[in-house]
Amino acid sequence: MIVSGRKLRVATTSLAGCFGCHMSFLDIDEHLLELVELVEFDRSPLTDIKHCGPCDIGIIEGGVCNAENVHVLREFRKHCKILIALGACAVTGGLPAQRNHLDVGQCLQEVYHTCIGVESLPGGQVPNDPELPLLLDKVHPIHEVVRVDYFIPGCPPSGEAIWKFLTDLIAGHTPRLSHPILRFD
């Protein structure tokens, strides 16, 4: 996807993730210097831009666990020509999805009320400030909420895998990951 005369615009974010995939992204080390010749960053933890503008590539780390995640993900889908799920959580739900066999109501009860060592709010109230995003009853991979163009699995994907994928993509090839850099763990 060569765009003549300008750098590609890339946005990144982490939803229900641990930022490990972003750390791995930084692990491409000296390739970062090559990368900044090719791309510029829009919304991203690297820029602190709060909302995503029109972009060529959006990279999502983390699954979808709450209402805010849904809004952010939709913002990315709306503004990014290409959307990439980065890492196990974005691809499969990952670690946060390990709560999916539990009842979310009971989880909230336990966390804010019955759990030992918790000072519960009066009447066992679960925090209800409208500023707090509500939890979905299950954590989902992002492809169950918006259309996703590409997937880079791994927990986290190695810097090498991320670099290979992005350079393929930027060069206009179909990005391809195979043994040994394709990893789910």
Partner 1 sequence: MEPIANSLDAVLEAVLSKRRRDPTQLLQILREVQEQVGYIPPPALTAIAAALKLPRARVEGVAGFYSFLHLQPVGKYRVLFSDNATDRLLGNLDLLGTMCQKLWVEQGKVSEDGLVSVDVTSCTGMCDQGPALLVNGRPITRLTHQRVNEICELIRSRRPLSLWPQEYFRVEDNIRRKDDLLNTVLEPGAALAAAMALGPEAWLGEVQKSSLRGRGGAGFTTGVKWEACRNAPGEERVIVCNADEGEPGTFKDRVLLTSYPDHVFEGMTLAAYATGARQGFLYLRGEYRYLLEPLEAALQRRREAGLLGQGIRGQAGFDFDIEIHLGAGAYVCGEETALIESLEGKRGTPRIRPPFPVIKGYLGRPTVVNNVETLAKTVLIALEGAERFAAVGTAQSTGTKLLSISGDCAFPGIYEYPFGVSIEQILEDCGATDVQAVQVGGASGTCLASYEFHRGIAYEDVPTAGSFMIFDTSRDLFEVARNFVHFFAHESCGFCTPCRVGTSLLQNFMDKLATGHGAKYDLADIEWINRLLKAASHCGLGLAAANPVVETLIKFRPAYERRLQSLDFAPAFDLDQSLAEARRMTGRDDADAHLSSVEAHR
Partner 2 sequence: MSDTKKFLLDGKPVVFQDGQTILEAARQAGHYIPHLCWHPDFPAHGSCKLCIVKVGGRHVSSCAMPAKEGMEVESNTPEMNGERRALLQMLFVEGNHFCPSCEKSGNCQLQALAYDLEMLSAHFNHFYPNRPVDASHPDVLLDFNRCIFCELCVRASRDIDGKNIFALTDRGIHKHLVVNAESGRLADTDFAASDRAANICPVGVILHKRQGFARPIGERDYDAKPISVVAMEEVEK
Reading the block at residue 178, the tokens are 């195979």
CB 165 to partner 2: min, Å: 10
CB 67 to partner 1: min, Å: 6
Q: Contact, 174 vs 168, CB < 8 A?
A: yes
- CA–CA gap between residue 36 and residue 8 (Å, rounded): 10
93 binds partner 2 (CB under 8 A): yes
Neighbours of 48 (CB within 10 A): 7
Q: What is the DSSP letter of 5?
A: T
Instruction: List residues near partner 1 by CB under 8 A.
Output: 67, 70-71, 74, 77-78, 103-105, 108-109, 125-128, 130, 133-138, 140, 144-147
Q: Contact region for partner 2 (CB under 8 A) — 7-15, 38-46, 121-129, 138-146?
A: 138-146
162 binds partner 2 (CB under 8 A): no
CB 88 to partner 2: min, Å: 6
Strands 64-66 and 135-140: antiparallel
CB 101 to partner 1: min, Å: 14
Q: What is the dihedral of CA 19, 143, 11, 52, to 10 degrees?
A: -110
147 binds partner 2 (CB under 8 A): no
By C-alpha distance, which of 24, 17, 152 is closest to 72?
Answer: 17
User: Is the Cβ of residue 6 or residue 179 nearer to partner 2 in the bound state?
Assistant: 179
- CA–CA gap between residue 165 and residue 14 (Å, rounded): 19
Residue 81: what are its φ and ψ, rounded to 5°?
Answer: -65, -40
Residue 108 binds: one of partner 2, partner 1, none (C-beta under 5 to 8 A by kind): partner 1
Residue 5 binds: one of partner 1, partner 2, none (C-beta under 5 to 8 A by kind): none
User: Is the Cβ of residue 65 or residue 85 nearer to partner 2 in the bound state?
Assistant: 85
Reading the block at residue 10, the tokens are 């890339």
Site for partner 2, rule CB under 8 A: 85, 88, 91-95, 97-98, 100-101, 138, 140-141, 143-144, 148, 150-153, 155, 176-180, 182-185
